Amino acid sequence: MALARVYGDALLALAAARGEEDEVWESLEGLARAIEEQPDFELFLDSPLVDDAEKRAFLERLLRGRTPDLLVDGLQVVRRKGRLGLLRAIARAYREAWMRLRKKVEVDVVTAVPLGEELRRTIAAAASRRSGREPVLRERVEPDLLGGLVVKIGDEKFDASVARELAVLEQRLLARASAEILSGKEYTEAE
C-alpha cells in the first residue's frame, strides 16, 4: 500500500495543479470498479505474459478521450514500472488523499434495514461533530445485525447492533455459568 500511496499522492498533486482532481477521481473510481467486477481485467493488466506494448495500446484504446489525459499518462507510467497490479490500491490511495484535500471523511454505516432520511441526517451530523470534517456516508445493509447499527468513522468503530449486544450477553452468561460450575456449589431447581 505504501507504493500505491506514492502513486496516488503524485497523481492527485498533478491533478490538483490542473484543477482536474475530481474528474481524475471519478475516472479512477470507475476503472477500479471495473476491475472489481471483472477479475480477468486485473489479471490481464498484471500478467507478465502479456506484452507491454499490448498493455500500452489497450490502455490507450480504453481510456484516451474518455478520461482525463493526465490519468491515462499516469497509468502509462505505472505500466512502464510494471505496477498495473496496484491499480485498485492506487485508486484507494488517491481517494484517501482526495478526501483529505476536500476535508471529508468516509463514514461506513451498517444497519439491519435501510436507513431512513432522518437517521441518515443524525448520523451525518454526529460524524461531522466527531471528525470536524464533512461526512461521506457509505451505507450497507446486513440483516444479521438484527437491529441497531455499526458506524465506522476513519479508524474509530461504534457498534450498537443487537447482534453485538446478544454476543456480549452470551459471553456474560457463559462466564457466569463457568464461574458457578468452578465454585462447586450445588443448586437445586428452586434456586
DSSP string, 13-26: HHHHHHT-HHHHHH
- Give yes or no: residues 47 and 11 share one domain: yes
Last residue of a domain, one of 65, 100, 135: 100
Same domain, 67 and 126: no
- How many angstroms separate the CA atoms of 181 and 191, rounded? 15
pLDDT in tens, 48-73: 899 999 999 999 999 999 999 999 99
Residues 80 and 127 in one domain: no
Residues 21, 89 within the same domain = yes
- Tens of pLDDT, residue by residue over 1-22, are 789 999 999 999 999 999 999 9
Same domain, 117 and 92: no
Final residue in a domain of this structure, among 44, 79, 100: 100
| Residue 188 pLDDT | 60
Q: Are residues 22 and 84 in the same domain?
A: yes
Instruction: Report the alpha-carbon distance of residue 125 to residue 67 in Å, rounded.
Output: 34
Establish if 107 belongs to a structural domain: no
What does the pLDDT read at residue 124? 94
Asked, for residue 189, whether it belongs to a domain, the answer is no
Domain finish residue from 100, 130, 150: 100
DSSP for 80-105 reads HTT-GGGHHHHHHHHHHHHHHHTTEE
Both 176 and 117 in one domain: the answer is: yes
- Distance from C-alpha of 95 to C-alpha of 29, rounded to nearest angstrom: 8
CB atoms within 10 A of CB 123: 20
Regarding whether 126 and 55 lie in a shared domain, the answer is no
pTM: 0.71
Residue 191 is predicted with a pLDDT of 53
The whole domain housing 145 covers 113-182
Same domain, 18 and 93: yes
SS3 137: strand
Q: Are 154 and 131 in contact (CB under 8 A)?
A: yes
Distances (CA, A) of 26 to 20, 22, 128: 10, 6, 24
- Per-residue pLDDT 10s for the chain (191 aa) are 789 999 999 999 999 999 999 999 999 999 999 999 988 888 888 898 999 999 999 999 999 999 999 999 999 999 999 999 899 999 999 999 999 999 999 999 998 899 999 999 999 999 999 999 999 999 999 888 788 888 999 788 888 777 777 777 888 888 887 887 888 776 666 55
Same-domain status, 68 and 154: no
| CB count in 10 Å sphere of residue 52 | 12
